[in-house]
Amino acid sequence: MVFAGTVLAEAIGVEDGKNVCQTQSYGPEARGGASRSDLVVSSGEIYYPKPLKLDLLLALTQEACDTYFPALKEDGVLIVDSGLVDQLPDHKVHGFPFTQIARDQIGTSMVANIIALGAIAALTKIVSRKGLLEAIKKRAPKGTEERNLKAAQLGFELTQRKKRARKKR
Amino acid sequence: MVFAGTVLAEAIGVEDGKNVCQTQSYGPEARGGASRSDLVVSSGEIYYPKPLKLDLLLALTQEACDTYFPALKEDGVLIVDSGLVDQLPDHKVHGFPFTQIARDQIGTSMVANIIALGAIAALTKIVSRKGLLEAIKKRAPKGTEERNLKAAQLGFELTQRKKRARKKR
Amino acid sequence: MADQTAKTQVSTKQKAEEEKVHVFEAWCKRCEICVAFCPTGALTSDKDGFPVLTYPEKCTQCGMCELRCPDFAIAVRPREKKESKKGSS
Amino acid sequence: MADQTAKTQVSTKQKAEEEKVHVFEAWCKRCEICVAFCPTGALTSDKDGFPVLTYPEKCTQCGMCELRCPDFAIAVRPREKKESKKGSS
Amino acid sequence: MALLSKVTHQYLRTKKQFPNVWCAGCGIGTIMGAIIRAIDGLKLPQDDVVMVSGIGCSSRMPVYVDFNTLHATHGRPLAFATGVKLAQPNLKVIIITGDGDALAIGGNHFIHACRRNIDLTTILINNSTYGMTGGQVAPTTPFMKIGTTAPYGNRERSFDIAKLAIAAGAPFVARGTVYHMVQLRKLVEEAIQKKGFSLVEVISHCHTLYGRLNKEGGAIEMLKWQKEHAIPISAAGKVPPEKLRGKFLTGVLWDIDFPEYCEEYDKVMAEAQGKM
Amino acid sequence: MALLSKVTHQYLRTKKQFPNVWCAGCGIGTIMGAIIRAIDGLKLPQDDVVMVSGIGCSSRMPVYVDFNTLHATHGRPLAFATGVKLAQPNLKVIIITGDGDALAIGGNHFIHACRRNIDLTTILINNSTYGMTGGQVAPTTPFMKIGTTAPYGNRERSFDIAKLAIAAGAPFVARGTVYHMVQLRKLVEEAIQKKGFSLVEVISHCHTLYGRLNKEGGAIEMLKWQKEHAIPISAAGKVPPEKLRGKFLTGVLWDIDFPEYCEEYDKVMAEAQGKM
Amino acid sequence: MVKTTIQKRERLILGNRACAEGAIAAGCRFFAGYPITPSTEIAEVLAWELPKVGGKFIQMEDEIASLAAVIGASVAGVKSMTATSGPGFSLMQEHIGYAFMAEVPCVIVNVQRGGPSTGLPTKIAQADTMQARWGTHGDYHAIALAPSSVAECFHFTIRAFNLSEKYRTPVIVLTDEVVGHMREKVTFPESSEIKIINRMKPTVHPGWYQHFEVNPHFVSPMASFGEGYRYNITGLTHNPDGFPTARPVAIKEKLDKLKNKITHNVNDIVEIREEFMEDAHIAVFAYGIVARAARQAVHMAREKRIKAGLIQPLTVWPFPDVYMEHMLEQLDLVIVAELNQGQLIREVMRVNTGKTRVRGLNRYDSELITPDQIFQKIREEK
Amino acid sequence: MVKTTIQKRERLILGNRACAEGAIAAGCRFFAGYPITPSTEIAEVLAWELPKVGGKFIQMEDEIASLAAVIGASVAGVKSMTATSGPGFSLMQEHIGYAFMAEVPCVIVNVQRGGPSTGLPTKIAQADTMQARWGTHGDYHAIALAPSSVAECFHFTIRAFNLSEKYRTPVIVLTDEVVGHMREKVTFPESSEIKIINRMKPTVHPGWYQHFEVNPHFVSPMASFGEGYRYNITGLTHNPDGFPTARPVAIKEKLDKLKNKITHNVNDIVEIREEFMEDAHIAVFAYGIVARAARQAVHMAREKRIKAGLIQPLTVWPFPDVYMEHMLEQLDLVIVAELNQGQLIREVMRVNTGKTRVRGLNRYDSELITPDQIFQKIREEK
Ligand SMILES: Cc1ncc(C[n+]2csc(CCOP(=O)(O)OP(=O)(O)O)c2C)c(N)n1
Ligand SMILES: Cc1ncc(C[n+]2csc(CCOP(=O)(O)OP(=O)(O)O)c2C)c(N)n1
Ligand code: SF4
Ligand code: SF4
Ligand code: SF4
Ligand code: SF4
Ligand code: SF4
Ligand code: SF4
Ligand SMILES: [Mg+2]
Ligand SMILES: [Mg+2]
């Protein structure tokens, strides 16, 4: 989650030029890496570094969804991995099987969250598509740039497709 | 000096039944042993543990004599090793060549200060002769009891002899 | 460490009473070590990565998978003949 | 450590210019090591424990006493012949 | 009980602490299995067993085992254990320590425990890195290998742990691997039975960090490496020297006798009390 | 100048610090003499010499010598010296340490300095006790000898310092005695010239405490003991084994080559800068 | 090496020896330490005396290991102690925090010498006072006692063990070079006269036992290793059962417990000795050896009809907030006399509400503050 | 392993990385450390970056050795730093005292985590604040800076080096897990815009040089090893020439110098950021990360027309006594918000003369204090 959070922060902060503050929560020890990443975005100075109420929640597990949903604003956007989160809160939800798609179409579940970032760029105005792709280029570990870019594109298209599908209906 | 100070404290405190507080000053490091030993005697509670003004000063070196003489009370008693201290302050002084006597009569300069204790017992009422001897028996390291007792006796007699000599004169 | 949210149901691939080898999926982390080092190739991984005793007939109940599992998530039914002491491995 | 109040006068037992071995009493602690290990027995201790070159004729200026003195309190006049470099020991 | 084997039930704190925190495939769990089986084999009462550890992935072990467990500070488990053992010599004290714990910050306690020869059994889990803090170099990281604090390759040489322990005075020194878990159990049994300080170095793998940084593969590849590079000491004589290069010996490498400290201290007490 | 020899004048802080604090007959002063003569022999500029010590009687030495001197904390001189040397590899860094300083509280820094192989010259003054604090047992006190904290006899075994250093990775290890002060000077010279970590253990005597407690006589008797118990390594082969018992070897005990850390770090910098 | 065996009721003894004998009297049967001036005699006496009473002495490789071994021994059920001075006390800080967190009773004697750093090994200071309270990382609540005489070295060490056992927490005895190296005549009590407190033992079945049980007393019964209760001890923040937790509620509960067992028991833990305080307008606030000079000074002042009194906290930590607030009501002036650059004076100022003048009398040149200096200060400031 | 090279003015970067880059910008060319969560990234970045600029990185065997090596390197003339967290900071205490006594410039970063003991390695606390001031034995006078943002991690590390060089004393950067592990966009200055202070060098002939010269500025010029000035450094109390002394006058002179160089320069060392303090009757006193919540809270209060303001000490040590005394004159209420059980509040209470109410808002359950909590507290207490 830290990687995805960082890419998003980079995209919003440096590429799109807003102020960002990204924090994370670790498990009891450092080694495991963080399990949660928070982002505060503002065009002004950011005081308190953690979000108090969420505008957007991306939950890739049921547990995350259950835990953090209460902090989501009334009109906040909830995006979940529909393959892993089946008990959905009573809310407008965007569900995509990110992990599934990642495994099937890119061959590794590791890029699920980058697909999700693509989806965010498509669904919201939080981050620009260009900013996101630039940020990925800059932050992706050597050798993984391509697949991450592809993942973001995938997420973007996926959402567009769904939007279009919905419109058609 | 610590050994002599301790013997004297033991004699006064435990054998003679007064309150005593014995302190010492070390050189810059512990190993060398202390170079100065202070004793406060009282029949009541002892507050401040170091002597402020001295009733009795036993100085075995010129340096000690020079340094501590100013703290001696007007009517205080000064006892020096007359073999080592030749510049005497303007004061009533009891001088005996303790080190010389120790080397000559007991064969080791190490007991000079015990001879001096004997002298103190004879010259002053600070410590009883019996108490001193008992304290030496208790405190002397194994194997040195005899020579220390002998030294104390020597100090005692020496002084008596001098007193008598003086009286005769 | 990421997805160790283990499933808590017991594997139903075999009946607990009969099986030579039992996998406790709640603890299994799907490292596939048991599969990789089973001397007879009796184990394989299912699509989620959990070990399955696909070839029970090959299994000699040697116990290696149990001894090697870092997560105490696989247990082998003791062979009946030799050593009837109640005991460990 | 008790009486290291060293005398500061220079030994006058020999004239500094001529002597083979010089003792710097201000620093000498009278450990008698130089005396004990002088290979020729040229040194003895005086009544206070300071070393004295009692038998100058025995002294080979080997320098051992100087090298061994823990207090840099004894110096040996270098032999003149070999090695005229200005130097240490 | 069919789900878990008997040892698991008896010796692990199955109810509270599982699944454990270690990465999938980490060797520490396997080592824990070998240890509880050794203790089971020796029929030591659980109440009499003390397990002491420092801080690190390896040092998390005491949390899982149902003994008297002391999760101490980083590097110091041997010093804590020394106090436990000397105070209650009837307890069996086993130390679990990592290579960083035992040899970096704790190196001094390690050599002194070897020298002092108190009856402690030390299981040193050598994964060539600091796992818990994220893959920094350890005093066991080989020359030129990568760690997060040695991005250009490690320029320090690594300790030969067994050699160091023997030089420091340890009377019993053994080496095993996670791969050879049957042998490992036996080595642990022998170490526990040894009167005096005993050390079992276990070659383990941290594929998550060390393996990844050094491109040595996952747990399975690293276990294979252990298999291929371990030479039992019993066989060492028969192997031509060129085949030993780059390999390491396993088994009991050193086993001699010395007076044990607690027993010596009994003599001190006897003397002191006699003299009173 | 006739009163003091030239080395004394040139290398000692004669004006302020003398006479020194050591007990009459203590070997530390003699060792100091050997060291300054070695430095003089090597013609090292005084400005380039750094002497670092810990705390203890031995560790008082830097106060007396006219180099760049750092009297650090108890047990840690090697760690301080590591910083000095790595920061300024052109300086010659010599560490003076006691057996307690180097091997009790400082044991970890000792083995790591051996392993890391930074170009430091360590003179370890082994007097079998803690002199400065009054004669407690040290990790070098032989079994059953008396110390003020081992009134019933020491029940721990002592380190074989050279063996430990070699096992920890030191490329140069030598042993000398105060008695053999000519050899000692040579050993110190060789150690300073060695590129890499070098150790000279000097067998010294603390007659004031250790000697007295163990009834081993004064300085002269203890020097004689050194004379009688030292066997030059060159002669060791010729001496029958039974005659070696209770004796110790002197001379250069170990001398091999390894990449030195500062030089390795130069490579790291080159690589890093190339990559930039 | 001091070879006298414990004996006789009335004896001339060294402060450090009194400390060692106090430990034995309190039931201490384990000492691990590392020599350091001016504390070493404590170790030396115990090396000699402990084996006589079936106790264990061990010299460890350093101070860190010493306190580790002490904690290990205490966990194994044996009352344990170490003794050190400044540099060693600094090295022990990590393990003081561990003992506090893991609630392990043990006693640490710090015979203070001149600092900072190596400082003045054979000279006195009282400059580790704040360190005793704040030396380790994280929130810590110390108990520290400050003896001013050889007799107090004996009694305060016993009390340190009692408090440590009662509250399951490390207790520090803050003595100093002068008290430690001083000889006074002490009248020893019979052992039957000495009050000993032992840690509370669990009465529940092992299955129910929680080593860090949270209860209204803030102190959990303590089973030792090997007694049939198998539990876990850790320096990680933990639940009452001893297993690590990261739940905020559990974290707070644990840290509150650690705090409350000290702060709720200040009245039991703190002892203060007063002199002439009934009607004093001026107080000298002094602890440890300085209190003796202060006592003499207030006697001198009384002779001159100055209404001065002495407040001598025998327990320097926890600080007696309520007591001092109350006292300050009555006072115009408090002189805080310390052998440092001003440490406990900060606490007095903290509780002061501005009504009372607080003045420091500080000495840190390795010499004692004399009665006369204090008396002069009283005269100047009054 | 973070491989990005230093570049670009505007970047999203991690707090710990900002700290490392600040060090390099300040001229730090030596780092010795030992990994510990949550500080490790500082070491990891410097392992990668230092050799690029000709600096040296070394991982030592422990934290004690790390600070020792840092001191050694500084004495050899190279600006040096280490970074650690709670347990490592406790272990460094002896050497912090040494650096202070021997007047060796160096920077110590403590990325605070939950304590006491091993505590909560991946969670935040501010509970080493008092330890930073009192952790070592003997009288010690700390300088400690507390950044509240990633940008401040960069700038405060530079400032720490500058203060350290200027005053020849160790300087502590007290950051925390949240700041250290936070990413923010930082606009980096050009190196020409960064003010760098280097230690003063002696101008006298080596024969006259005194490494610890006593002068009216309390700071002595500092020659490095190898520069032709051969002097002695010791942790023993010493004369201006660096040789040990036990003379009371010299001892006092030395300790006064150490004290005065901090206390006489409080105005230069201390930086405070205020918000709405011109007319505030209520102040929130908060440092480090908590100051951000506090800033938001006082904005909330102002919206409700409550005259609240923020006092954020950027320098937590030395404590700004005079400034605070002055401020308290104006205030009815001060709320001291900290992630601990109440540490710096004691200092505020100390300087308070009783006129102002001082209230603590303390959280120590591993979570941040929120703006709302502070705002509520303002409402409750006002
Ligand atoms: C005093 C102190 N310093 C540093 C740390 C951080 N730390 C925790 S575990 C660890 C290294 C663990 O390495 P190792 O012992 O090899 O165990 P592993 O995780 O590899 O099993 C470190 C440096 C700490 N907890 N305490
Ligand atoms: C941290 C710390 N612990 C203990 C001491 C006390 N101390 C000073 S020197 C010393 C022992 C010295 O022994 P060694 O290194 O063998 O030197 P020696 O005096 O024998 O030459 C000790 C324990 C100290 N100064 N600092
Ligand atoms: S070894 Fe254990 S954890 Fe790994 S896959 Fe097999 S059963 Fe699961
Ligand atoms: S018991 Fe042996 S044969 Fe059977 S599955 Fe396990 S490892 Fe394979
Ligand atoms: S060796 Fe040196 S100190 Fe000893 S007696 Fe000879 S000159 Fe004096
Ligand atoms: S120079 Fe040699 S022979 Fe002459 S006195 Fe010295 S040791 Fe003896
Ligand atoms: S980080 Fe390494 S050592 Fe730690 S649990 Fe994971 S694989 Fe094992
Ligand atoms: S105490 Fe021992 S080591 Fe120290 S100076 Fe005296 S003889 Fe030498
Ligand atoms: Mg490891
Ligand atoms: Mg020694």
CB B39, CB B21: distance < 8 Å: yes
- Tokens for E118, please give them: 């108190």
pLDDT at C16: 47
Count Cβ atoms below 10 Å from residue B71 Cβ, excluding itself: 13
Residues of A (57-116) whose Cβ lies below 8 Å from H: none
Q: Total domain count for chain B?
A: 1
Q: Which of H45, H75, H236, H237 to mutate to test the interface with F (most CBs of F within 10 A)?
A: H75
The CATH number of residue B49's host domain is: 3.40.920.10
pLDDT tens digits, E122-152: 999 999 999 999 999 999 999 999 999 999 9
Q: Contacts of residue H292 in chain A, CB cutoff 8 Å?
A: 46-49
Calpha distance E62→G244 (Å, rounded): 12
Q: Which ligand is nearest to the CA of F60?
A: 2
Ranking D15-19, E11-15, G319-323, H179-183 by mean pLDDT, the lowest is D15-19
> Which residue of A6, A47, A50, A137 to mutate against H (max H Cβ within 10 Å)?
A47
Distance F182 CA to ligand 8 centre (A): 22
Give the 3-state DSSP-derived string for E153-187, with helices as H, strands as E and coil as C: CCCCCCCCHHHHHHHHCCCEEEEEECCCHHHHHHH
G10-193 domain in CATH 3.40.50.970? yes
Domain pair G10-193 / G273-381, same fold = yes
What is the C-alpha to C-alpha distance for residues H353 and H84, in angstroms, rounded to an integer? 37
User: Are the CB atoms for E75 and E109 separated by under 8 Å?
Assistant: yes
Q: Per the structure block, which two tokens stand in for F92?
A: 């010659």
Q: Answer whether residue E263 shows pLDDT above 90.
A: yes
- Predicted confidence at residue A169, as pLDDT, reads 61
Which pLDDT value is given to residue B30? Answer: 46
Mutate to test the pocket of ligand 4, among C19, C33, C62 (most ligand atoms within 8 A of CB): C62
Neighbour count for residue B87 (Cβ, 10 Å) = 7
Phi-psi region of D6 (alpha: psi -120 to 50; beta: other; left: phi over 0): beta
Composition of chain A by helix, strand, coil, percent to 5: 50, 20, 30
Residue B101: burial class (beta carbons within 10 Å; 0-12, 13-18, 19+): buried
**Beta-ladder partners of G170:** G106
DSSP-derived secondary structure letter, G348: H
pLDDT at residue E206 greater than cutoff 70: yes
Task: Determine the Cα–Cα distance for residues E262 and G270; give it in Å rounded to an integer.
Answer: 39
Q: Report the distance separating Cα E164 and Cα E221, nearest Å.
A: 29
d(CA H63, CA H95): 10
CA distances from residue G63 to B25, H137, H176 in whole angstroms, order as listed: 26, 14, 29
The answer to whether G196 touches G306, Cβ cutoff 8 Å, is no
Residues of C with Cβ-Cβ distance to E132 under 8 angstroms: none
Instruction: Identify the three-state secondary structure at position B23.
Output: strand
The yes-or-no verdict on residue G244 having pLDDT over 90 is: yes
* B36: confidence class by pLDDT, cuts 50, 70, 90: confident
pLDDT score for B109: 86
User: What's the mean pLDDT when you consider all of chain E?
Assistant: 96
Longest dimension (CA), chain A: 49
Burial class (CB in 10 A: 0-12, 13-18, 19+), C51: buried
Chains adjacent to C (≥3 CB pairs closer than 8 angstroms): A, E
Q: Count how many Cα atoms sit within 13 Å of the Cα of residue A168 in the half-sphere of its side chain.
A: 6
CB pair distance less than 8 Å for B61 and D5: yes
The residue nearest atom 8 of ligand 4, judged by CA position, is: C38
Q: Chain-wide mean pLDDT for chain D?
A: 80
Classify each residue of D30-39 as buried b or exposed e, where b means 16 or more C-beta atoms within 10 Å of its C-beta.
bbbbbbbbbe
Give the pLDDT score at C89: 42
pLDDT 10s digits, B111-135: 999 999 999 999 998 899 999 999 9
Residue type, G274: E
Rounded Cα distance, F78 and F115, in Å: 12
The confidence score (pLDDT) of residue A159 equals 85
Q: Does B24 touch chain D (CB under 8 A)?
A: no
Instruction: Report the DSSP pairing between strands C21-23 and C43-45.
Output: unpaired
User: Between these two residues, G57 and F276, which has the higher pLDDT value?
Assistant: G57
pLDDT at res. B162: 80
What's the pLDDT score for residue D1? 35
- All domains in chain F, ordered by first residue: 2-275 (3.40.50.970)
Where are chain H's structural domains? Answer: 10-193, 273-381
Spatial CA neighbour of F5 closest among C5, H293, D78: D78
Q: What is the pLDDT of residue B163?
A: 77
Q: How many Å separate Cα G195 from the centre of its chain?
A: 18
> What fold, for H273-381?
Rossmann fold (3.40.50)
**Which of the four pLDDT bands, split at 50, 70 and 90, describes residue A110?**
confident
Alpha-carbon distances, residue A132 vs A23, E28, F178, G312, H236 (angstroms): 19, 40, 73, 68, 59
Give CA–CA dist H380/H376, Å, rounded.
6
- Tokens 């590849």 sit on residue: E221
Helix (H) or strand (E) holding H47: helix H40-49
Give the pLDDT score at D7.
39
Element (H, E) at E225: helix E219-229
So what's the pLDDT on residue E3?
Answer: 52
pLDDT digits (tens, 9 = 90+) for E49-70: 999 999 999 999 999 999 999 9
pLDDT in tens, A119-147: 999 999 899 999 999 999 999 988 899 99
Which candidate in H7, H11, H12 is best for mutational testing of the A interface (most A CBs within 10 A)?
H12
With cut-offs at 50, 70 and 90, classify the pLDDT of residue A30: very low
Do E123 and E129 meet the contact criterion of CB atoms below 8 Å apart?
A: no
**Which residue carries 């996101």 as its tokens?**
A132
CA distance C1 to G276: 67
The string of pLDDT tens digits covering residues C7-22 is 334 444 445 446 899 9
3-state secondary structure of F127: coil
Q: Where in the sequence is the domain holding B48, given as residue range(s)? A: 2-168
Gap between the Cα atoms of H81 and H69, Å rounded:
9
Instruction: Count other Cβ atoms within 10 Å, centred on residue C44.
Output: 14
Size of interface B-G (CB pairs under 8 A): 73
How is F252-270 classified by DSSP, letter by letter?
EEEE-----HHHHHHHHHH
Check residue F4 and give its pLDDT: 66
Distance separating alpha carbons of residues F103 and F114, to the nearest angstrom: 12
Task: Summarize pLDDT for F133-175 with one digit per residue, the tens.
Answer: 999 999 999 999 999 999 999 999 999 999 999 999 999 999 9
Indicate the Cα dihedral angle B107, B113, B114, B116, nearest 10°.
Answer: 110
> What is the rounded distance in angstroms from the CA atom of residue H231 to the CA atom of residue H207?
10
Nearest chain E residue to H31 by CA distance is: E149
C-alpha dist (Å) from residue F110 to F35, F160, F166, F275, G116? 20, 13, 11, 35, 26
Going by pLDDT thresholds of 50, 70 and 90, the confidence category of residue C81 is: low
1-40 in chain C: CB under 8 A from chain A: 1-3, 5
d(CA G170, ligand 2 centre) in Å: 26
3-state secondary structure of E80: helix
Backbone phi, psi, residue A3, to 5° = -60, -50
What is this model's ipTM?
A: 0.95
Ligand 1 in contact with H88 (CB < 6 A)?
yes
Across A150-161, average pLDDT: 90
Q: What is the pLDDT along chain H (382 residues), one digit of tens a residue?
A: 444 444 568 999 999 999 999 999 999 999 999 999 999 999 999 999 999 999 999 999 999 999 999 999 999 999 999 999 999 999 999 999 999 999 999 999 999 999 999 999 999 999 999 999 999 999 999 999 999 999 999 999 999 999 999 999 999 999 999 999 999 999 999 989 999 999 999 999 999 999 999 999 999 999 999 999 999 999 999 999 999 999 999 999 999 999 999 999 999 999 999 999 999 999 999 999 999 999 999 999 999 999 999 999 999 999 999 999 999 999 999 999 999 999 999 999 999 988 899 999 999 999 999 999 999 999 999 8
CA of F98 to the centre of ligand 10 (A): 5
Question: pLDDT at residue C1 above 60?
Answer: no
May I ask the CATH class of domain C28-78?
alpha beta
- pTM metric for this prediction: 0.96
The token pair at H177 is: 């897990």
Check residue E222 and give its pLDDT.
98
How far apart CA B149 and CA H106 sit, in angstroms, is 60
Per-residue model confidence as pLDDT tens digits over D5-38? 333 344 444 454 468 999 999 999 999 999 999 9
**CB-based contact G51 E272, cutoff 8 Å:** yes
